[in-house]
């Protein structure tokens, strides 16, 4: 089983409830979305380096971290990504999947910690969301609401009201430099859900990839 890999690197996990932990990132090439403020635009059209799953496991096994994130682009566009997630779980890694929410999640190994974006209006890709994905998420999973405007925050709150009985955890992240983090933090404090987590992208603040 071969995957098109854009890069594999070790850094600190910059977002989610795993923020601050050493993490190995497996970034797969390709994305079918074109978000207006995408910060990995080169990945979207890249061909990547063909690697089979055995090669990937061999490479990351000596990198000294037990948290692994499969990301992109949109990693689930590659059919063999599902087998990669299962294999990583079988090897005992704590496995995170960063996904756009625009591909169905029904084939993702249930041991995987899913971090699903909800693309807001400012991205230009809000219509890409697969609404049924919310039913796949459980207490191990998180939904990230990137916000570049007040309209984006209001859109996030519409989703949260629609899913009042959710088990997943909501995350709020400002899209810099389009929205000041202090403004979003104030909205989360005064109008956000009690379990909403505000985050800045730690890796960018300290200059890590």
H/E segment holding residue 59 = helix 53-60
> Residues 145-172: pLDDT tens digits?
999 999 999 999 999 999 999 999 999 9
Residue range 75-93: mean pLDDT, rounded: 98
> Residues 115-149: pLDDT tens digits?
999 999 999 999 999 999 999 999 999 999 999 99
Q: Which residue has the tokens 């909403």?
A: 196
- Using pLDDT thresholds of 50, 70 and 90, give the confidence band for residue 3: very high
Three-state SS at 60:
helix
CATH number at residue 92: 3.20.20.70
* Total of domains in the chain: 1
H/E segment holding residue 68 = strand 67-71
pLDDT of residue 49: 98
**Half-sphere CA count of 200, side-chain side, radius 13 A:** 14
Give how far the C-alpha of residue 202 lies from the chain's centroid of Cα atoms, to the nearest Å.
14
Decide: pTM greater than 0.75. Answer: yes
Three-state SS at 181:
helix
Q: Which domain range does residue 192 map to? A: 2-205
**Which residue has better confidence, 83 or 209?**
83
pLDDT of residue 1: 86
Q: Is the pLDDT of residue 55 over 90?
A: yes
């Amino acid at each position: 089983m071969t995957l098109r890999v854009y890069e594999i690197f070790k850094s600190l996990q910059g977002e989610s409830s795993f923020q601050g932990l050493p993490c190995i990132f497996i970034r797969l090439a390709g994305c079918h979305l074109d978000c207006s403020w995408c910060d990995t635009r080169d990945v979207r059209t890249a061909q990547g380096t063909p690697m089979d799953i055995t090669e990937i496991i061999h490479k990351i096994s000596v990198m000294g971290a037990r948290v692994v994130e499969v990301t992109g682009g949109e990693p689930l566009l590659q059919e063999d990504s599902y087998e990669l997630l299962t294999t990583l779980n079988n090897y005992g890694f704590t496995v995170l999947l960063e996904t756009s929410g625009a591909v169905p999640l029904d084939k993702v190994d249930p041991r995987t910690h899913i971090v699903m974006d909800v693309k807001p209006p400012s991205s230009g890709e809000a219509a890409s969301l697969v609404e049924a994905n919310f039913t796949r998420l459980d207490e191990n999973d998180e939904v990230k609401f990137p916000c570049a405007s007040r309209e984006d925050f209001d859109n996030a709150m519409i989703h949260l009201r629609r899913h009042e009985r959710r088990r997943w955890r909501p995350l709020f992240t400002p899209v810099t430099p389009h929205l000041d983090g202090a403004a979003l933090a104030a909205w989360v404090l005064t109008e956000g859900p009690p379990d909403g987590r505000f985050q800045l992208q730690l890796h960018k603040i300290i200059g890590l990839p």
